[in-house]
A = this chain, B = another copy of it.
Amino acid sequence: MVITVVGIGLIGGSLSIALQEKGLATHVIGVENDAAHAAKAIELGLVQECLPLEDAIQKSSLIIIATPINAAEQLLPLILDKLSNQVVFDVGSTKSKIVEAVQNHPKRGRFVATHPMWGTENSGPSAAVKGAFSKKATVICDKTDSDADALVLVEKLYALLEMHIIYMESTAHDMHVAYISHISHITSFALANTVLEKEREEDAIFELASGGFESTVRLAKSNAAMWVPIFMQNRENILDVLNEHISQLRKFKSCLEKENYEYLQELIENANGIRRILK
By a beta-carbon cutoff of 8 Å, the part of chain A in contact with chain B is 117-120, 136-137, 139, 164, 166, 176-177, 179-181, 183-199, 201-202, 204-224, 227-228, 231-232, 235, 238-246, 248-253, 256-257, 259, 261, 264-265, 267-278
Task: Give CA–CA (A72, B270) in the complex, Å.
Answer: 26
Chain B proximity of A159: nearest CB distance (Å): 16
Chain B proximity of A14: nearest CB distance (Å): 13
Task: Give CA–CA (A209, B176) in the complex, Å.
Answer: 9
CB atoms of A184 and B212 under 8 A apart: yes
Q: Is the interface of A mostly helix, strand, loop or mixed?
A: helix
* CB contact under 8 A between A190 and B220, given known A210-B118, A256-B235: no
Task: Give CA–CA (A221, B191) in the complex, Å.
Answer: 19
CB atoms of A241 and B198 under 8 A apart: yes
Task: Give CA–CA (A217, B184) in the complex, Å.
Answer: 8
CB atoms of A189 and B267 under 8 A apart: yes
Residue in B closest to A205 when the chains form the complex, CB atoms:
B277
* CB contact under 8 A between A190 and B242, given known A184-B212, A208-B117: no
CB atoms of A241 and B190 under 8 A apart: no
Q: List 12 A-B contacts (CB under 8 A).
A: A119-B211, A137-B207, A176-B199, A177-B208, A184-B191, A184-B216, A193-B248, A202-B277, A216-B219, A228-B268, A231-B256, A249-B249
* CB contact under 8 A between A209 and B277, given known A191-B187, A220-B271: yes
CB atoms of B235 and A259 under 8 A apart: yes
CB atoms of A274 and B212 under 8 A apart: no
Q: When the two chains form the complex, which single residue of B139, B164, B192, B222 contacts A273, counting CB atoms closer than 8 Å?
A: B192
Chain B proximity of A77: nearest CB distance (Å): 22
CB atoms of A248 and B181 under 8 A apart: no
